[in-house]
Structure 1
Amino acid sequence: MEIKDKSIALLIDAENISPSYIEIIIDEANKYGKINYRRVYGDWTTPQLNPWKQKMNEFGLTPVQQYAYTSGKNSSDFTLIIDAMDILYSGKVNSFCIVSSDSDFTKLVTRLREDNMFVFGMGESKTPISLVNSCETFSYLDKMLITYESEEKAPKRKSVKQTVEVVQETNTTSITPLRKIKHELKNMINSNLEDDGWAYWSLIAQLIMKKYPGFHPRNYGKNMRPLEFFEKMHDFEVKKEDTVIYIKNK
């Protein structure tokens, strides 16, 4: 992904997200542009958030205090939402990155997008599909962490089919089964064929991301570009003419 020139408000729900993801969060957000706000929300009087405190200085994060007035309720939700709206009305950013697995932020994302904000999300595989699909794009932090760690250890490679089967057997995830992605991809290609029987990959890639904002090959154990990922399945043919890439079903 090429680095873009967006101005970003990065808002992290510390009570819902592990600090072990912070380096991945920052790296991923930096791909979209400049991070103007780096705020992390929670009740900092509780010992549960102590691991986050160790990351504050290292990554330039601003802690925002929210006391837990109601037992059993994520206290950071309210303050994060209020801050997001204040930042929106300030006009200082054109993008938001909401880092949480909590579906309570779905309405916030929808509201920000109504004001033409680019909103991308990050969370774990347990994130409800409502929040995932409300974002322009969504990254699964636990899948990214597994991919990065496995690449560092350089384990024996598994086939795409092997890793996909593991994901599909998991019920507690909002990750779309790959068989469904493949089915939709084939339909999109057939619906957008040119006279020569090929479809523009740039168009198909946009359609896939609009329908499945959380899609990425790393969700299925492969950290590669989507085009390469699909090409290796042998269900699709790809060709390149000058700088234009085409795809069709085999």
Structure 2
Amino acid sequence: MENDKMIAVLIDADNVSDKYIKSIFDEISNHGTPTYKRIYGDWTKPQLGSWKSVLLKYSITPIQQYSYTTGKNSTDSALIIDAMDILYSNHVDGFCIVSSDSDFTRLAARLREAGMYVVGMGEKKTPAPFIAACEQFKYLEVLAGEEASTPVEKYKKQEISKDGDDKEELIKSLKTIITESSDEDGWAYLSEVGKRLNKRHPDFDTRNYGHSKLTPFILSLKGFEIQARKTNKPHVTNYYVRNSSK
């Protein structure tokens, strides 16, 4: 099962605000269990001071990395070296790289080449190559929006965050995937469609569009039909989707 994965969580403190920390670990719990929890930065810098109380609360190990040369990011190098050491330890099933920095693009690709499950997390400014290198990518602004105090505030925050993938491009991908995986009547298993969509658009998340699940997201679009089919197991219903001719 996906949530049985042992995941190394590596955070680039230079590129991530401590205000996202609860959202980061809440989301990680949907993918697996965080084993290694490390954060990298030059902790002598005053701007990282706000992280200190957070590290204790979430039991995150700070890794000190001095900036040896102006213009060079030593923090990135330390995170990359640690990631490779963890990879070769054979103690994890996947990695979560928390950063908005494109310098981790090659690392994400290398970890996936080794068969690792790689989740990226970063802000909307994250460059496309790093997003594409991850198996899944989550926008921190959207994850933080999940904690809004009321459903209305939650929806508004998510609506603001809808610029991850172009919606028209997603619709085209959906139609293609359904055509490729459907039966003779045009019906495709919704869960499988969702998996294939994530592979083609790593940053796709229904929460980017104000929906908590795939079914209501597709229902909000034009050009699709959804069918619920009961199974012989109590309380288990399978959902299917097909392209609408309307």
How far, CA to CA, are the matches of 1:188 and 1:90 in structure 2? 37
Aligned to 1:135: 134
Consecutive unaligned residues of structure 1, counting only runs of 5 or more, are 169-174
The answer to whether residue 210 in structure 2 is matched with residue 211 in structure 1 is no
Q: Secondary structure at the match of 1:195?
A: coil
Aligned to 1:63: 62
What's the CA shift for 1:22? 0.3
Query: Aligned pair in 2 of structure 1 residues 47, 213: CA closer, same or farther (>3 Å)?
Result: same
Of 185, 203, 215, 1:227 maps to 215
Aligned to 2:152: 155
Structure 1 residues 19-48: Cα deviation after superposition (integer angstroms, max 9, x where no partner): 000001111112222211110000001001
Query: Aligned pair in 2 of structure 1 residues 153, 71: CA closer, same or farther (>3 Å)?
Result: farther
Of 162, 184, 188, 2:173 maps to 184
Q: Secondary structure at the match of 1:20?
A: helix
Consecutive unaligned residues of structure 2, counting only runs of 5 or more, are 231-236
Aligned to 1:73: 72
Aligned to 1:172: none
Look up the equivalent residue of 1:205 and give its one-letter code.
Answer: G
Shifted more, 59-68 versus 191-200: the winner is 191-200
Structure 1 runs of 4+ off > 6 angstroms? 156-159
How far, CA to CA, are the matches of 1:120 and 1:156 in structure 2? 27
Q: Secondary structure at the match of 1:63?
A: strand
- TM-score, reference length from structure 1: 0.88
- Please give the root-mean-square deviation of Cα atoms over the aligned residues, in Å: 2.1
How far, CA to CA, are the matches of 2:179 and 2:113 in structure 1? 32
Given that residues 230 and 236 in structure 1 are in contact (C-alpha distance below 8 angstroms), is that contact kept between their aligned partners in structure 2?
Answer: yes
Look up the equivalent residue of 1:244 and give its one-letter code.
Answer: N
Given that residues 15 and 74 in structure 1 are in contact (C-alpha distance below 8 angstroms), is that contact kept between their aligned partners in structure 2?
Answer: no
Aligned to 2:243: 249
How far, CA to CA, are the matches of 1:78 and 1:49 in structure 2? 18
Given that residues 159 and 208 in structure 2 are in contact (C-alpha distance below 8 angstroms), is that contact kept between their aligned partners in structure 1?
Answer: no
Q: Secondary structure at the match of 2:3?
A: coil
